[in-house]
Structure formats: structure tokens, C-alpha cells
């Protein structure tokens, strides 16, 4: 699914070069659940941006599902993001004046689907993220943080992406609610065989994946398979 080969990202200001990534090589199989972790400034966010087609490497190759996207222009990258990658962010990024159902259906507007099709697909995604149907017509300001993140997960699923990229998805949540979100991601991986890349700086969160990739000073310094990964505590939706 994901192949990064000797990825480098260099920022240049005048004659000064700063390496955000150095010869990063990484592969992720279809249906695998990995976490990428490291301290602030380690390069994990830069690696996430490249994996998510939000940026391109200065050097090296990035292949997504066998396609080399390293040299794609912004329009081509936008098409890849809309069709192949579902994003879950720490801050939810929901439209305040749109209902839950409309927020989830929004990516399908850009795909050109009719409203009835958009609503049907959004409903399927909300059920997959275990979001209660009685709240589908609520506005985001009427929801708890955990419920808003479930909406964000549903929106990430609505295009049936090849890859779910979750960037600090529990960062704005308390431990109990964060465990609910981690349980949802684990269930999507286990039951629907979703490929998930989880970005986090917390070791506890990283341990819910199958593998932990550690990034430091722009380099991948460790790649560990979790033989007995941590299982999220299951709570009722809140």
C-alpha cells in the first residue's frame, strides 16, 4: 500500500538547508495498522504530509498503491487525496453550520454524486463509525468531543479510501473518550481490513497499532512489531 524509499525533505532559506527528513524508508502492507511517533520536531508530521499527499519529497520515491506520486503537481495530489485517502485530524475540522449528515457527505459533493447518493453513503459511514442515528441532524456545537471525532472518522470513510490517516485523533479528548476513538479505529482495521496510519506523540496511543515507527531528527530510528498490542477499553458512545 505504502512505499517510501529514501525520502528526504529539505527546506532552503537562502544558502541554509534544513533537513526535515533524511533517507526515510518505510513500507506498509494493505490492511495494516501502524503508528508513527516521535517528539516535537522529529519529522513525523513531515512524513505524515508526504504519506497523505499534502506535500512531496525533495528526494526519494513515494508510491501509494503501486503508483509513484512523488512528482505529482498540486491538482494531481488533490485528486489522490479526495479519492484514496481519508483524513482524521485532532481538531475535527467540521463545518459549524452544517448538520452531521451534511458534514460527512461533503467530500462526495466534489466527487459529483447526487444528493440521495451522498446521503446514503454518509449514512453508511456514520453507522461504520458507530455514530448514533438520533444525532445525525444535530450541529457540531451540539455534540461532545468524542462524537465530533466519530463524525470526522465517518467523513474519512465516506469515499471508501485505500488509506485512513489519523493525525493525533485523541489529542483533544480525555482518556475515556480517546479510548473510544482508538477502539473505533481498531474495529475498522479488524472487521473492515482498513489500512490505518496513526500519528501520535503518546506511547500509550501508539501501542494500539500493529507496528510502531519511531522518528527522530528526521530519520526512522526504530520499526517495532507489537506482538500483543494494547486493546482500547470499550465504552458506550458519548
User: What mean pLDDT is reported for the chain?
Assistant: 91
- Can you tell me the distance from the alpha carbon of 228 to that of 89, in angstroms, rounded to the nearest whole number? 27
The grid coordinates listed for 83 are 479519492
Q: What is the pLDDT of residues 155-167, one digit of tens each?
A: 999 999 999 999 9
Contacts of 127 (CB under 8 A, 6+ apart): 133
pLDDT at 26: 94
3-class secondary-structure state, position 151? helix
pLDDT at 168 over 80: yes
pLDDT at 238: 47
Report percent pLDDT > 90 for the chain.
76
Q: What is the CB neighbour count within 10 angstroms for residue 196?
A: 24
Q: What is the pLDDT of residues 122-134, one digit of tens each?
A: 999 999 998 999 9
Average pLDDT over residues 200-214: 94
pLDDT at 216 over 90: yes
Give pTM, 2 decimals.
Answer: 0.89
pLDDT at 227: 83
Average pLDDT over residues 33-55: 94
Cβ atoms of 181 and 153 closer than 8 Å: yes
pLDDT at 234: 53
pLDDT at 233: 62
Average pLDDT over residues 212-217: 96
The grid coordinates listed for 86 are 481519508
Q: What is the pLDDT of residues 101-130, one digit of tens each?
A: 999 999 888 778 899 999 999 999 999 998
Domain boundaries, the chain: 31-48+83-225
Q: For 31-48+83-225, CATH number?
A: 3.40.50.300
Average pLDDT over residues 144-150: 93
pLDDT at 113: 84
pLDDT band at 223 (very low <50, low <70, confident <90, very high): very high
Amino acid at each position: 500500500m505504502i512505499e517510501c524509499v529514501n525520502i528526504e525533505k529539505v527546506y532552503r532559506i537562502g544558502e541554509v538547508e534544513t533537513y526535515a527528513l533524511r533517507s526515510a524508508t518505510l513500507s506498509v502492507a494493505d490492511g495494516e495498522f501502524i503508528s508513527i511517533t516521535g517528539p516535537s520536531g522529529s519529522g513525523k508530521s513531515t512524513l505524515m504530509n508526504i504519506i497523505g499527499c499534502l506535500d512531496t519529497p525533495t528526494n526519494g520515491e513515494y508510491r501509494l498503491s503501486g503508483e509513484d506520486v512523488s512528482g505529482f503537481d498540486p491538482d494531481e495530489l488533490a485528486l489522490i487525496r479526495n479519492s484514496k485517502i481519508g483524513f482524521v485530524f485532532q481538531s475535527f475540522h467540521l463545518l459549524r453550520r452544517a448538520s452531521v449528515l451534511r458534514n460527512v457527505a461533503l467530500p462526495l459533493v466534489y466527487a459529483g454524486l447526487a444528493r440521495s447518493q451522498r446521503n446514503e453513503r454518509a449514512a453508511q459511514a456514520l453507522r461504520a463509525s458507530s455514530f448514533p442515528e438520533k444525532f445525525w441532524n444535530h450541529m457540531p456545537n451540539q455534540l461532545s468531543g468524542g462524537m465530533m471525532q466519530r463524525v470526522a472518522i465517518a467523513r474519512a470513510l465516506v469515499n471508501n479510501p485505500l488509506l485512513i490517516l489519523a493525525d493525533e485523533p485523541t489529542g483533544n479528548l480525555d482518556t475515556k473518550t480517546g479510548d473510544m476513538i482508538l477502539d473505533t479505529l481498531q474495529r475498522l482495521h479488524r472487521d473492515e481490513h482498513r489500512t490505518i496510519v496513526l500519528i501520535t506523540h503518546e506511547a500509550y496511543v501508539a501501542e494500539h497499532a500493529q507496528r510502531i515507527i519511531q522518528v527522530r531528527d528526521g530519520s526512522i530510528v526504530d520499526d517495532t512489531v507489537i506482538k500483543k498490542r494494547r486493546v482500547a477499553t470499550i465504552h458506550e458512545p458519548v
